[in-house]
Structure 1
Amino acid sequence: MIEVFKQYIRSKSKVTDEDLAQIVAACQVKRLRKRQYLLQEGDVWKFNAFVTKGCVRTYTLDDKGNEHIINFAVENWWTGDRESLASGEPSIFNIDALEDSELILIPKKNFDQLCELIPAFNDLINSVLQKSFIVAQNRIHTFISLSAEEKYLKFLEKFPHLPMRVPQGMIASYLGITPETLSRIRNQTAKK
């Protein structure tokens, strides 16, 4: 598991072996069984998390018990609640495993120290944050501007591997449409 993270760091930055050893020393390994929580609403998120194996989702529950999926994270993706991490306030999100998963957790204090001490790591994290912001911005644009069919097609274009790993009802939740609408769109798309 640590090897996957080390390969990721090496592929995205020019860290020295010493730097990499410092980064690895700060890491905690977390294994989740399918349906096990990484974070529950009301808890304070205290880590930066990197997925080395599996798939997790971030979501909220409304007053009626309906899930609203904010994102998915698979291998080589970061996950967590940035707002709770930054503010120290309880999270409004749940994060759980859709598959048996393995993650690398780095506590906030250690992570901040690594960013301060290792410029190449800090540059990597800034690049990740910038890309995450762009993804969030594009997701908002898609959500308010596109039809249900266009949302689904854009989802397939951006994440072609996810429909094989994520139940259709969860994809519908992520897209902000009903499972019935997604089923209809999938049938129409298959006929084209």
Structure 2
Amino acid sequence: MLEVRDLGLGVREIRPRRFADERGFFSEVWNAETWREAGLELQFVQDNHSLSRARGVLRGLHFQSPPFAQEKLVRVTRGSVFDVAVDIRSGSPTFGQWVSVVLSAEAWNQVLVPAGFAHGFLTLEPDTEVQYKVTAPYSAAHDRAIRWNDPAIGIEWPLEEAELTLSAKDQAAPLLAQADTGF
């Protein structure tokens, strides 16, 4: 059984079943047939895994432009993150709006981010590991980002800016109004 909750904007939180006993647990985190029965038909082509050593690492807001736009299934296998998705589809009535969810190894939840959304996460604990599946392969020519603190979007990050660690790429990302998203 798969528990699916709409977070808004078409972003979904998913909780796969976890079977636990004295040895530990087992969980089927992805099964094409089970997901198809839940109305979620996806063809993943690549798995990614990141480790953030410190609390306060912010990765994002990232996306790939068409024809390499990606849907992402994101989960945390150690630690926790504040996960964000921003609608960057120019004709969308929810353009520039965002939703968030805390993903954690303890909660064993996942988030499904549709294509046409910028995605990012902020680590809430040290040594946090994030794994995610995508529906299109990485393409450097289509790799894009928008500014994590764009005031027009207004994401309410749970940590102060002085506590954050960002890559040079993420620090230099354009505002959404200046970005060529391709959507």
TM over 0.5: no
Write 1 or 2 for the structure with the bigger share of strand: 2
Give the TM-score normalised by the residue count of structure 2: 0.34
Rg (Cα) greater in structure? 1
Give the TM-score normalised by the residue count of structure 1: 0.33
